[in-house]
Amino acid sequence: MRATLKPGIRYEHKFLVPLSKTVPALYPESEEFVAMPEVFATGFMVGLLEWACIKAINPHLDWPQEQTVGTHIDVSHQAATPPGLEVTVSVELVAIDGRKLVFNVEAHDGVDLISRGRHERFIINKDKFDSKVNEKARQGRHIKR
């Protein structure tokens, strides 16, 4: 991580919600999801919040060797957003504790505040992380189900 990675970093990210990011598209294998309203899905919204945090800090990391993974999310989803509206996500890095990064996050769809909360990410070395995940996958193949 670079010396420029400090609390106070802010970033704004805009995203036009397509039909492919609505609730029925979240798990098309689920008849329950498919039957639900075509509004921006909470699962995709969380991903958008993460994306904005990643964009905020990547210039301050030794990308792509250093990356971040999400470790905690505590956000509201307080208003429905139909496809075609543009969501603006605003994030601020508010704390750094070793390799843990804490962000305040907020999203607005041009009509309503749709989300507010906190997100934590952890800085990883991609090669080391991939090695551990691959080892876990190998171990998991040997477990009888």
To the nearest whole percent, how much of the chain has pLDDT over 90? Answer: 92
Catalytic residues: 42, 50, 77
- If you ran DSSP here, which 8-state letter would residue 144 be given? -
Band (pLDDT 50/70/90 cuts) for residue 1 is confident
pLDDT of residue 141: 82
pLDDT of residue 142: 77
pLDDT of residue 39: 98
Band (pLDDT 50/70/90 cuts) for residue 80 is very high
Q: Does domain 10-141 have CATH number 3.10.129.10?
A: yes
4, pLDDT greater than 90: yes
To the nearest whole percent, how much of the chain has pLDDT over 70? Answer: 99
Please enumerate in sequence order all residues whose Cβ is within 8 A of that of 16, keeping only pairs 6 or more positions apart, or say none: 84, 85, 86, 87
| CA dist 138 → 19, 126, 131, 134, 143 (Å) | 37, 18, 11, 6, 10
61, pLDDT greater than 70: yes
Q: Write down the pTM of the prediction.
A: 0.93
pLDDT of residue 103: 98
| CA dist 46 → 4, 31, 75 (Å) | 26, 22, 8
Q: What rounded mean pLDDT belongs to the chain?
A: 96
